[in-house]
Amino acid sequence: MSEAGSRPGCIWVDADACPVPVREMLFRAATRAKVQVTLVANQWLRTPPSPFIRAIQVQGGYDVADDAIAERAAAGDLVVTQDIPLASRVLARGAMAVNPRGERFTADNIAERLSVRNFMEELRGAGVQTGGPSAYGARERQAFAAQLDRWIAQRRS
């Protein structure tokens, strides 16, 4: 069992850049499924009053929130993050990782995702405009909700 609660399978959220609609879905799921949701950020975050929801504020700094999540995530946990290196780290610990757009990181796709990320970072470092992600909309919310529901159902079995 993980540190966040007495039930197996907790949800860890890399909350600094997590879209509000995703946080709201997670808050509803925490109460409905009685699963511990922990938001980790380097700033104070407002959370609804619930025994299943908490926030951890870490010191500011490069990858401090990521390190806190990677140290705590355990097999059976779900980690919500856009950070591909963090996803790789928690996959190695047996946790499931998904980004807020509902894209699941797996052992089969993480190496490719890291390579593309590093390549894009090199391009940006060279001054190439690479553009950003498309707007976060209903399709992305629905894909995330489906991944969350799958994880909750798997957790119960």
What pLDDT score does 129 carry?
Answer: 74
User: Residue 58 — very low, low, confident or very high, per pLDDT cuts 50/70/90?
Assistant: very high
What pLDDT score does 77 carry?
Answer: 97
Interior/surface letters 104-128, b for 16+ CB within 10 angstroms, e for the rest: ebeeeebeebeeeeeeeeeeeeeee
φ/ψ of 103, rounded to 5, equals: -90, 125
User: Residue 4 — very low, low, confident or very high, per pLDDT cuts 50/70/90?
Assistant: very low
User: For the chain, what is the mean pLDDT?
Assistant: 87
What is the number of helices (H) and of strands (E) in the chain?
5, 6
pLDDT in tens, 70-96: 999 999 999 999 999 999 999 999 999
What pLDDT score does 1 carry?
Answer: 39
Query: Which has more confidence, 61 or 31?
Result: 31
Portion of the chain with pLDDT greater than 70, in percent: 86
Beta pairing, strands 104-105 & 96-98: antiparallel
Residue 149, pLDDT > 80, answer yes
Query: Which has more confidence, 130 or 4?
Result: 130
* Structure-token pair, residue 137: 């909309």
What pLDDT score does 130 carry?
Answer: 67
Instruction: Write the CB contacts of 148 (distance below 8 Å, at least 6 apart in sequence).
Output: 25, 26, 29, 78, 98
Cβ pair 102, 144 in contact under 8 A: yes
User: Residue 15 — very low, low, confident or very high, per pLDDT cuts 50/70/90?
Assistant: very high
User: Residue 119 — very low, low, confident or very high, per pLDDT cuts 50/70/90?
Assistant: low
Average pLDDT, integer, range 132-147 = 89
pTM comes to 0.83
